[in-house]
Amino acid sequence: MPKVVDHNERRTRIAEALLRVAGEHGLEAVSLRHVATEAGVTSGMVQHYFRTKDEMMAFALEVVRERGEVRLSAAAAALGPDPTPRQLLRTIVAEVLPVDEPRRVDGRVALAFLAYTAVRPEVAAPVRADTKAMLEFMAERIRAGGPRPGVDPERAAVGLLALMEGLGVHLLGGHYEPATALAALDSYLDTIFE
């Protein structure tokens, strides 16, 4: 019986090679040949699965998003059955921040993707959808958590998500220590919740 090729597994393997290259050397190092070498396959094989670099990037972005979802769900589940909205939001943001090496690799890839999609708006649709969903989730949790008088949940959610992004960028650049970022996060949450 001929071996059945798991095409999705192969695509994922190539995408993961792309992510390792991007995480170590930056997105401008991502070439067909470089990715093929890293994945241990031929350039022809990579071209068989991805006709263009954009296609390969879009698929790799999917892999990163799935990884992120799995990680966030695990962190939320680890909080137990009834976390307060503040605990949940704090956990989610802290989970994403690049405070250790695995998260730094993912963070560098995410930053590279942001730069990539900023000049290719057509590839950015899934990222925009994630932002929208995350803003709705955060606003809903802020509303449920009993915000301080005068706090607008929608605006506070936009601020919290932007804070997460900005702290992540500054941590990746080594601009300050993780403790500094976490203290700024807690101060921000203090302004939202009683």
Instruction: Catalog residues that contact a copy of itself under the rule CB under 8 A.
Output: 23-28, 30, 107-108, 111-112, 114-121, 124, 127-128, 131-132, 135, 150-152, 155-156, 158-159, 161-167, 169-170, 172-176, 180-181, 183-184, 187-188, 190-191
How far is Cα 139 from Cα 119, in angstroms, rounded to an integer? Answer: 29
Query: Exposed e or buried b for every residue in 119-130, given b needs 16+ CB within 10 A?
Result: eeeebbeebeee
Helix axes 53-77, 7-25, angle to 10 degrees: 90
Q: Which is nearer to a copy of itself, 9 or 101 (CB)?
A: 101
Q: Which is nearer to a copy of itself, 14 or 110 (CB)?
A: 110
CB 51 within 8 A of CB 45: no
CB of 2 to a copy of itself, least distance (A): 39
Token look-up 């059945």 returns 4
CB of 48 to a copy of itself, least distance (A): 23
CB 27 within 8 A of CB 112: yes
CB of 7 to a copy of itself, least distance (A): 27
Q: Which is nearer to a copy of itself, 60 or 156 (CB)?
A: 156
Q: Which is nearer to a copy of itself, 36 or 160 (CB)?
A: 160
